[in-house]
Amino acid sequence: MRFGGQRQSRNVEDRRGSGRGGPGIGGISGLALLAVLAIGYFTGIDVTPLLQGLEQGGAPGERRALTPDEQQAGVWVSQVLGTTEDVWAERFRNELGARYAPPVLVLYSGVTQSPCGNASGATGPFYCPGDRKIYLDTEFFATLSRQLGAPGEIAAAYVIAHEVAHHVQDELGILGKANAARARMVPAEANAVSVRIELQADCLAGVWAESVNALLKPGDVEQAINAARQIGDDTLQRRAGKVPRPHTFSHGSSAQRVRWFTTGYEQGRMEACDTFGTHRP
């Protein structure tokens, strides 16, 4: 394991097996669907094309012991999260002269609640500015590998790095400003701003990848780039049997996501990630 030797973050809130899942949903209700769509703006991956056919686990109030696989996944996530804490603390200190306050990462199983709405397998991982927490069901990594064509440890780590990057944007005041602007816009314009937010998160994930270069193995960067490609809006829409419609994109095309992740990785500086200062990101 690439991150196996790393320290574990203490900023993990583990709700798996604790029965804190909140009201169970046995199928996605209209209300939950709205929550999914709202949350979509904060997710690393827009999974709305995949809504059908996803199972909901975790009965309400259920208490159970974690499986060995779940325990191992939890340790691994906390190790990756630990690397993001070290990287961003150093970057904030050196590039901004500021202190980095890391986010909490909520591990859940099946369904849980957040100020941004219910989190479930249908929402995918996301960052909620309401409580400054990342929500992650590690089952998503299987979806990423099997359904989305992005296998590999580094693809999963990239997803965590992308969500942490949204917190970095929040710390910098970028996320709040961008979302406030989006609220005043017509949908196509709001989507265009959303794309700039998401591409910046991809670029910052690239900066993280450059910072942990010593932990990576041959082929890792290519695997991360493949993940960025597989979760581009055009690829996801095609995978869902649709013709890509660029004005509906909220996260950017595959080409854009690859380009910005690569930019962050190759340049290795936060200031290379100014997706708002360029005419066509």
Tell me the per-residue interface mask from 182 to 221 with Zn ion, x by CB under 5 A, - otherwise.
----------------x--x--------------------
- Between 40 and 58, CB nearer to Zn ion: 40
- Measured at the CA of 141, the angle between CA 138 and CA 146, to 5 degrees, comes to 145
Contact 206, 262 (CB under 8 A): yes
In the bound state with Zn ion, the residue whose beta carbon lies nearer, of 153 and 198, is 198
- In the complex, the smallest distance separating the C-beta of residue 106 from Zn ion, rounded to whole angstroms, is 16
For residues 138 and 74, the answer to whether their CB atoms sit within 8 Å is yes
Q: At closest approach, how far in Å is the CB of 167 from Zn ion?
A: 11
CB of 264 to Zn ion, least distance (A): 14
Q: What is the dihedral of CA 156, 161, 163, 164, to 10 degrees?
A: 150
103 binds Zn ion (CB under 5 A): no
Q: CB under 5 A: which stretch of 39-47, 145-153, 252-260, 267-275 binds Zn ion?
A: 39-47
Closest alpha carbon to 195 in 242, 267, 263, 255: 255
Three-state DSSP at 173 gives coil
Query: Which is closer to Zn ion, CB of 23 or CB of 130?
Result: 130
- Min dist CB 112 to Zn ion, Å, is 19
Instruction: Return the number of the residue (44 or 232) whose C-beta is nearest Zn ion.
Output: 44
Residue 117 found at the interface with Zn ion (CB under 5 A):
no
Q: What is the distance in angstroms between the CA of the first residue and the CA of the last residue of the chain? A: 34
Q: Using an 8 Å Cβ cutoff, are 129 and 176 in contact?
A: yes
Q: Which is nearer to Zn ion, 154 or 197 (CB)?
A: 197
CA-wise closest residue to 161 among 231, 83, 256, 270:
83
Does 44 sit near Zn ion (CB under 5 A)? yes
C-alpha distance from residue 212 to each of 9, 12, 75, 206 (Å)? 16, 20, 18, 10
Residue 170 C-beta: closest distance to Zn ion, Å = 12
The residues binding Zn ion (CB under 5 A) are 44, 198, 201
